[in-house]
Amino acid sequence: MKLSIKVEPRLETPRMLGIAIPVISLAAALLSGAVFLFFMGVSPFQAYSTIIRSSLGDAYGLSETVVKAIPLAMAAIAVMLSFTMLIWNIGAEGQIFMGAIAAAAAVRYLFVDNHLAMFAIMFAAAGIAGGIWAAIAGYFRARWSVNEIITTLMLNYVAMNLLNYFVYGPWRDPASLGFPMTAPFPDAARLPSFWGTRIHAGLFLAILFPLIFWVILRFTRWGYEIRVMGENPKAAGFAGMSYIKNVVFVMFLSGAIAGIAGMCELSGLQGRLQHGFSGGYGYTAIIVAWLARLHPIAIILVSFLMGVLLVGGETLQIVMRLPLSSMLVLQGLILFFVLGGEFFRKFRIRILSGGATPPIATTSAKEEK
């Protein structure tokens, strides 16, 4: 008997699939990751259990996972905001850099010996710097339809080089023995850490931001505008909403949040500005936002899971001598399967036996329920 496979569009996505698809995608990603690990010459089972144990197995691992999740959650909220409006800010990485540079500048030139005041200054500086960085791309997009994917991406490199300029050049700490880094920040410019771990006060922001934006998107007038503009810009114009103004504003806000994420990382964790300081959080955040289906609360959860992967990955590098890039492959697989999962949300696959077509009466279509 001949079998044929048919792809057909779904008219309605059953609610159950909304949860099943991300879970299955993740499982598929881990499975193919296992194959990949196997070919890298390590036992996938051992590798995965190392990941779990090192990131969730003890208090230290857990705290490190949270430490990674903090900037991720903030940056994911940043990109989520622009994605909701169908503006593709993929420059969170650069905006994180800009926030960090601005915060470092604040410490250098506007130092006040008071925790709260210093925090406020750094917060504002980082927000404004990151915000402007993104708003530039937003303005070009809104005013001249310049593709924001390209501009935000390009600005990432500019920001990175700017950071390098400062840490290699004028801001380099003479006492650093030639390492590209600034002098350690004074105590007043550090965010407090808790429980004797590296978890810092950025944690509150990482939880607060998702909550705030959940409320904004669901319950406020502005949130409603953003959603309408994302769904149908033409209808938004018809309803008197200003697309141009909002594109710029949303990009500003998006960049500001990413910038603040950079500042938290800087003053909460590293305590000085240095070369290569973000480690790709801005890019990983895009994966997080998609995995969370742009839902602010889900972003908290997914960030944590991604933290597990990052911490576990670092351990893998050390314990099993896997190159850093192998973790990037795993991340890439996850994104690939998540986007692939989107396909199954929109289409269904049916396997038909060739020849006789079954009568309709027996194929009751449950999919619409």
**Residue choice 1, 11, 116, 175 for contact with other proteins (CB under 8 A):** 11
Q: Which of 6, 14, 5 lies closest to 346 in space, CA to CA?
A: 14
Residue 161 within binding range of other proteins, rule CB under 8 A: no
How many residues touch other proteins under the rule CB under 8 A: the total is: 35
Distance CA(259)–CA(99), nearest Å, equals 4
Q: What sign results for the dihedral spanned by CA atoms 58, 41, 33, 3? A: negative
Tell me the residue type at 252. F
We find the least distance from the C-beta atom of residue 137 to other proteins, in angstroms, to be: 24
Q: Which of 297, 352 has the CB closer to other proteins?
A: 352
**Shortest distance, CB of residue 215 to other proteins, whole angstroms?**
9
Q: What residue type is 144 in one-letter code? A: W
Nearest distance from residue 219's CB to other proteins, in Å? 5
C-alpha span between 267 and 262 (Å, rounded): 9
Shorter beta-carbon distance to other proteins: residue 147 or 220: 220
Residue with tokens 């569009």: 9
Give 265-326 as a DSSP string: IIIIIISS-BTT-S-SHHHHHHHHHHHTTT-HHHHHHHHHHHHHHHHHHHHHHHHH---HHH
**Dihedral (CA of 188, 190, 196, 199) sign:** positive
Stretch that binds other proteins, among 75-83, 291-299, 336-344, 357-365 (CB under 8 A): 357-365
Interface stretch with other proteins, choices 9-17, 169-177, 246-254, 288-296 (CB under 8 A): 9-17
Can you state the angle between helices 281-291 and 296-320, rounded to 10 degrees? 130
x/- mask, other proteins, residues 326-355, rule CB under 8 A, reads: ------------------------x-x---
Examine residue 363 and tell whether it contacts other proteins (CB under 8 A).
Answer: yes
* Interaction between residue 232 and other proteins (CB under 8 A): yes
Among 5, 39, 234, 355, binds other proteins (CB under 8 A): 234
Q: Which of 39, 144, 178, 364 binds other proteins (CB under 8 A)?
A: 364
Q: What's the DSSP call for residue 193?
A: B
Say how far apart CA 181 and CA 195 lie, in whole Å.
27
- Separation CA 328–CA 324 (nearest Å): 7
**From the CB of 15, what's the least distance to other proteins, in Å?**
10
Listed ranges 96-104, 182-190, 215-223, 338-346: which one lies at the site for other proteins (CB under 8 A):
215-223
Q: Shortest approach of other proteins to residue 18 CB, angstroms?
A: 14
Is 10 among the residues that bind other proteins (CB under 8 A)?
no
One-letter identity of residue 272: R
| Residue at 330: amino acid letter | L
Strands 3-9 and 347-353, bridge-based pairing: antiparallel
CA dist., res. 290 & res. 21, Å (int) = 13
Query: Could you tell me the smallest distance in angstroms from the CB atom of residue 236 to other proteins?
Result: 8
**Judged by CB under 8 A, which of 93, 148, 225, 265 binds other proteins?**
225
Residue 196 is a binding residue for other proteins (CB under 8 A): no
Smallest gap from residue 220 Cβ to other proteins (A)? 5
Residues that bind other proteins (CB under 8 A): 6, 8-9, 11-12, 219-222, 224-225, 227-228, 231-232, 234-235, 237-242, 350, 352, 357-361, 363-365, 368-369
